[in-house]
Amino acid sequence: MITAAICFIVMIVTYRPQASYRKGMLFAISLPEHAIVHDGIREIQAGFKRRFARANWLMLLLLVPVAILYALPAYQTVYYLLWICVYFVVGTVPFRRAFREMLALKRDNDWFVGEKRVIQSDLRVAQLKNRRSAPVALFAIPAAMSAGLMVWMAQEGSDFIGLGVAAGLVTVLFLLISLGTRRAKARVYSMNSDVNVSLNQARRRAWSYLWLMMAIVENIHVALIYQAAANGSEDGLGVWLTITLAFTAIPLGSILYVHRKVRALEQELLEQDDKIVYTDDDEYWANGFTYHNPNDKSLLVPKRIGIGETINTGTLAGKLIAGGVLGLLAAVVVGVSFMLIRSELTSPTMTLMPDSTVSIDYPMYSFDFSLSDIQELSLVDEIPSGTKLNGEATGTQARGHFRLKGLGKTRLYVFKNNPPYIRIKLDKVYIFYNDKDPLRTAELFEELARSAPSSK
């Protein structure tokens, strides 16, 4: 958690807003060449920089409680999740205001740029099936990898089958993105149709192959995660960190490479062309970030700010996607927060029932077993290292399904770094349990030892 917070601090401190005039656009507003010297624009730029700096210092100040809550990891994580949500809202406020000010200034000065509301042009060739894009049939490769992962994990046990399903869903997601990229609105660069066709074909080809590569890479990612989780090792943290860093760097690096390659090609061809077309559709770009044009039936359009494409919320599909993404993010934040706070406030309880069964009560991970099923019973001071399969793990607690080194499948109901721990071996699973009070743990162990047939 602290590491993630430090990364955000570095990002805020080192980030510099792109407030300069570039390629006929400033703050996502298209402008004529002569407008950049206007005093009003310089005032808007200066105001943006001041507001952007204040917003970042405010968010840095609001990050202080993350360190204060170090002893309460559940509340620390919840606060950090909320902080991230607030940051992505507050961080865009300066740009949104600059966008509105720039749009008002443009209207006041009647700075009209190029043809208005250009949606389609003489690009029928580019809108046809693009033979130069990655063939859809190639997605059979990551699909086969996903199917193989699911079969492999199912044979090894059901604990990791969710990873295989996730690999399949990721493959489908990248396939849908690739199809959306092929059908995205063709960009109008020039009055020269050959230039338009060439650039649109090159753009679609580059991005379609990227999504195919990403689907393959993510399947490899899932396979490595499974290997690391299933095998377990003393240097598990280092393995996980290496995998995470590598498979974060590869997609990001690939996206940046494709983006720069396409931009370089655009610049190269357009520098040799004297029929460049400028479009003036600022009114469809709400705050410079989101595109809403009911007259444009394209689902995906090139971003004005950032890399890649964005959805057109003026279409029904665009509205559904935007609503679904926001709903999913809200569900994740609320769900994770609920589980963490519940884990902080609720402790597992072990009870020896009159019918000679042992009941461990804990939401979602309750478990009952008979005393006659106990094969080994001991009181230990350490728990082997391992990985979480399905459960809750914070700096102070671990509850749910785990796989421990040398033991295999294990159910943990423990307060970490708080020995002793009751270790119970059943037919196909181990159980570790302790109470927050070590004396109570010892009492429970003695009660089990007196009643368990294996100890007599």
CA–CA distance, 14 with 334 (Å, rounded to integer): 31
> Residue type at 175?
L
The whole-angstrom distance between residue 214's C-alpha and the CA centroid of its chain comes to 14
> The tokens of 237 are what?
């943290």
Secondary structure tally for the chain: helices H, strands E: 12, 15
Work out the burial of residue 409: count CB atoms within 10 Å of its CB; fewer than 13 is exposed, 13-18 middle, 19 or more buried: middle
**Residue found by looking up tokens 């609720």 in the block:** 346
Contacts of 37 (CB under 8 A, 6+ apart): none
| Residue 19 pLDDT | 45
Strand pairing report for 349-352 and 285-286: unpaired
Contact 51, 93 (CB under 8 A): yes
* DSSP H or E stretch at residue 325: helix 316-345
DSSP states of 24-55: TEETTEE--GGGGG-HHHHHHHHHHHHHHHHH
Alpha carbon 150 to chain centroid, angstroms: 22
The single-letter DSSP state of residue 408 is E
3-state helix, strand, coil in the chain (%, to 5): 55, 15, 25
Torsion of CA 66, 71, 77, 80, to 10 degrees: -10
Angle at Cα 358 formed by Cα 353 and Cα 361, nearest 5°?
95
78/86 Cα distance (integer angstroms): 12
Is residue 208 exposed (0-12), middle (13-18) or buried (19+ Cβ within 10 Å)? buried
pLDDT at 130: 45
Q: Strand, helix or coil at 125?
A: helix
Beta-bridge mates of residue 357: 370
Report the sign of the C-alpha dihedral through residues 76, 79, 85, 89, in that order. Answer: negative
Q: In terms of Cα–Cα distance, which of 288, 306, 263 is closest to 26?
A: 288
Show Cβ contacts of residue 422 under 8 Å, excluding neighbours closer than 6 positions: 350, 377, 378, 379, 431, 432, 433, 434, 441, 444, 445, 448
Buried b (16+ CB within 10 A) or exposed e, 298-314: bbbbbbbeeeebbbbbb
pLDDT, mean over the chain: 79
Residues 6+ apart with CB under 8 A from 386: 232, 236, 402, 403, 404, 405, 407, 410
- The predicted pLDDT at position 414 comes to 94
pLDDT in tens, 408-447: 889 999 999 899 999 999 988 999 999 999 999 999 999 9
Of the listed ranges 210-219, 365-374, 392-401, 414-423, the least confidently predicted one is: 392-401
- E strand map for 74-165: none
| Residue 241 one-letter amino acid | L
| pLDDT one-digit tens code per residue, 112-135 | 776 554 444 444 334 434 446 778
Of 425 and 19, the one with more pLDDT:
425
Residue 232 has pLDDT above 60, yes or no: no
φ and ψ at residue 62, rounded to 5 degrees:
-70, -10
Question: What whole-number distance in Å separates Cα of residue 337 and Cα of residue 363?
Answer: 15
Residue type, 295: N
- End-to-end CA distance of the chain: give it in Å, rounded: 47
Q: Which H helix or E strand runs over 194?
A: helix 193-231
The answer to whether the CB of 197 falls within 8 A of the CB of 126 is yes
Give CA–CA dist 148/223, Å, rounded.
10
The Cβ of residue 2 has, within 10 Å, a number of other Cβ atoms equal to 11
* C-alpha to C-alpha distance for 359 and 352, rounded to whole angstroms: 6
pLDDT for the residue numbered 11: 43
Convert the pLDDT of each residue in 155-208 to its tens digit. 766 566 777 888 888 898 888 888 877 776 677 777 777 777 777 788 888 888
Q: Model pTM greater than 0.95?
A: no
- Cα separation, 275 vs 315, in Å, equals 31
- Give the model confidence (pLDDT) of 77-107 as tens digits: 888 888 988 998 888 899 989 988 988 888 8
